[in-house]
Structure 1
Amino acid sequence: MVRADESLDAAFEAARAGDEHAFVKLWRVLQPPLLRYLTVRGNDSPEDLAAETWLQVVRDLKRFDGGLAEFRAWLFTVARNRAIDHGRARAARPAVPVAEPPSTEVMASAEVVVMNQVSTESALALVATLPPEQAELVMLRVVAGLEVADVAHIVGKKPGTVRVGVHRALKALARELSDQETQEVT
């Protein structure tokens, strides 16, 4: 994992200097967790929000001051703000019924045993059963792999609150998964 992070660090620095190939590498690594995060937030167009997020990143990357860890936190902060703005704009417009959007296939996270036991689609559905605040914490901390301090900064909470929220959310997910397995057996 250290080699991958070093390689990504190098790609980040090169992308910041204007290397398009390095930016593509960053995008390939960070796009899947970004899409998962936006999908679980309940956005009806996660791909569009991700594209808007990356456009802002491209515009502002040369002015960005920080390393790769700060960049990841910034990327998810931009995405969160885009999603909030999109939600506000959607709430201001009258609802028009539309067909159900096609499901987006995303890679499953290997960081949590709960997530390893179910398919990606089931995992996203399981996380979506959490209260929105807890689902967001799980997506940022576990799926996106951000540090507690970065998640705390993004959501505007104290690190201890984030740790407790993630712990409670994961316990709830484990309980829900156990209940589902028990129902399947009986």
Structure 2
Amino acid sequence: MATTLTEEILSAARGGEPQSLREVYESLAPSILAYLIGKGCDDPEALCQEVFLTLFGKLKNLTGGISGLRTFAFSVAHARMVDDVRRRERQPVLAQFDPQADARLSSSAEETVLGSGPGVAAMLDGLPARQKEVLLLRVVADLSIEEAAKIMGSTAGAVKQLQTRALRTLKDRMEREEVPDHERIA
């Protein structure tokens, strides 16, 4: 279960206190991992770990409290995602995932975060890249408009417009497809 960050926890983490560092990780990792999964990264778990290696290395110098920490963490996650896309463009992956060969007994992180069937992931797949990015940052990562705008290198007004358009597109699609209420995005 995710820990609710407080300024006290953040202060202790800046001092290198192990339990506080763990609480920072447990608080931010699920939404960072969901963001990286939603962006289609090849190995989101590894990228999430890279985000925290960077974050913990810079923790002492971060400003802006918890909001500054979240913004920085998602800025790093965004940068790692861009690096992943560039790497894949230079060196495409030749092997495809075979679900029949997956011997895990429990649900994968992807299944847990995105659910099964044609849920959130399928709905987001049809959106333009910038609209998808806004929804991942605003809904999945639970960032403010200002934080999302900073990460995307955009203005708060542009983020609001992108989010409105994306939500309208999803609403229209759900109405056309008559998606059952239990699968709808709130």
Distance 1:120 1:163, change over 3 A: farther
Aligned length: 170
Distance 2:179 2:47 in 1: 37
Q: What is aligned with 1:12?
A: 10
Amino acid at match of 2:111: E
Q: What is aligned with 1:145?
A: 142
Tell me if the contact between 2:14 and 2:59 (Cα under 8 Å) persists in the aligned partners: yes
Give the 5 Å matches for 1:23-102: 23-100=21-98
Tell me whether 1:105 sits opposite 2:111 in the alignment: yes
Deviates more, 1:153-162 or 1:125-134: 125-134
Distance 1:44 1:165 in 2: 26
Name the SS for the 1:130 alignment partner.
coil
Cα offsets for 1:105-159 (capped at 9, x unmatched): 3447xxxxxxxxxx56611222232112111111111221111111111000111
Distance 1:54 1:128 in 2: 27
Cα offsets for 1:47-71 (capped at 9, x unmatched): 1111111111121111222210011
- Give, in angstroms, the shift of residue 87 of structure 1: 1.3
> If the length of structure 2 is used for normalisation, what is the TM-score?
0.81
Tell me if the contact between 2:42 and 2:84 (Cα under 8 Å) persists in the aligned partners: no
Tell me whether 1:166 sits opposite 2:163 in the alignment: yes
Tell me if the contact between 1:35 and 1:106 (Cα under 8 Å) persists in the aligned partners: no
* Unaligned residue ranges in structure 1 (runs of 5+): 109-118
Distance 1:95 1:82 in 2: 17
Tell me if the contact between 1:15 and 1:22 (Cα under 8 Å) persists in the aligned partners: yes
Q: What is aligned with 1:157?
A: 154
